[in-house]
Amino acid sequence: MGIRSIERAMNVLQELNLQPINTIAQLHARTGLPKPTLVRILKTLEDAGYVENDVREGGYRVSALVTSLSSGFHKGPLVVEAGRAWAVAITRKHKWPIAIALPDYDGVVVRFSTVPDSPVSPFHSTVNRRLNLLTRGLGLAYLAFVEGEEFDLIIDVLKRSDDPENALSHHPDELERLVKKIRAAGFATRSSLVEPRNSNTIAVPIISKGGKVLASLGLTYFTSAFSSEKEACARYAPILQSAASAIADDLERLSSSVSIEVDNTYTT
């Protein structure tokens, strides 16, 4: 076991990243740490410059310096780099948060999200969150556009899983129907069978000029903001689709002008 205070501090720092502003009481509830301990940890982080105590807002928030804790981390594939700007732009315009997810073995992992830029996000920073392929919007948007034996390979892996969210892999015809529907529509949504119910995600694939599915791009919204799922999809799916194709274009420009290959590596 490691140094307790450090583990606690890291947890606190993670929690702080999940909300724009955090009261001691909230952190107490979420981390289970005694309040005096929280105050002490937060004061330490504040002295070090990672945290600000905004008395006006009545709580603590992360400050700019936290970026220095991860600035040296190699950010990952060029798709994410190319997609960020579009994701941010869409969120600024439409408010809802955008996420970019990359495939990783039997799921997709959120590698970038504009949650911190969104004033109305149902979630708070989903970066590094792993999502299932058969139930989640971002997973389905990726999977449904994968073809041939790569598709079969993934399904085989999923079959070996006992995660209830992967259950569909045992029902080939149902699965096929879903995939066909998604392909025809050009976008996927989160299954209505999984939590959370008060939000939904609309996602589209990002497909390279060569036809390879590189990532998926999703928008998450509160269901209560629209009278029906259809309405939300009609509104945002085209936006996501054109953004996805713009990202593919950018990737092309970025690679051709400096002649590099699209790199599909991802870290775990």
Interacting positions 180-239 with DNA (CB under 7 A): none
Nearer to its own copies, 34 or 164 (CB): 34
What distance in Å separates the CA atoms of residue 31 and residue 5, rounded to the nearest whole number? 13
Nearer to its own copies, 129 or 212 (CB): 129
What does 53 interact with, of its own copies, DNA, none (CB < 5 to 8 A by kind)?
Answer: DNA
Q: In the window 18-47, what residues touch its own copies (CB under 8 A)?
A: 18-20, 40-41, 43-45, 47
Q: Applying CB under 7 A, which part among 30-38, 126-134, 153-161, 219-227 lies near DNA?
A: 30-38
CB 223 within 8 A of CB 200: yes
The set of long-range contacts for 233-241, using a CB threshold of 8 Å and a minimum separation of 24, is 233/185, 233/187, 233/189, 233/202, 236/94, 236/96, 236/202, 237/185, 237/186, 237/187, 237/202, 237/204, 239/90, 239/94, 240/90, 240/187, 240/202, 240/203, 240/204, 241/186, 241/187, 241/204
Residue of 12, 16, 33, 243 that binds DNA (CB under 7 A) = 33
| Binding residue count for DNA, defined by CB under 7 A | 24
Instruction: Tell me how far, at minimum, the Cβ of 124 lies from DNA, in Å.
Output: 17
Q: Give the Å distances, CA to CA, from 212 to 23, 78, 207, 251.
A: 45, 14, 5, 13
Binding to its own copies by residue 261, rule CB under 8 A?
A: yes
Cα end-to-end distance, the chain, whole Å: 23
Instruction: Tell me how far, at minimum, the Cβ of 134 lies from its own copies, in Å.
Output: 24
| Binding residue count for its own copies, defined by CB under 8 A | 80
Instruction: Tell me how far, at minimum, the Cβ of 63 lies from DNA, in Å.
Output: 15
Question: Residues in the site for DNA, rule: CB under 7 A?
Answer: 1, 3-5, 8, 23-26, 28, 33-37, 39-43, 53, 55, 58-59
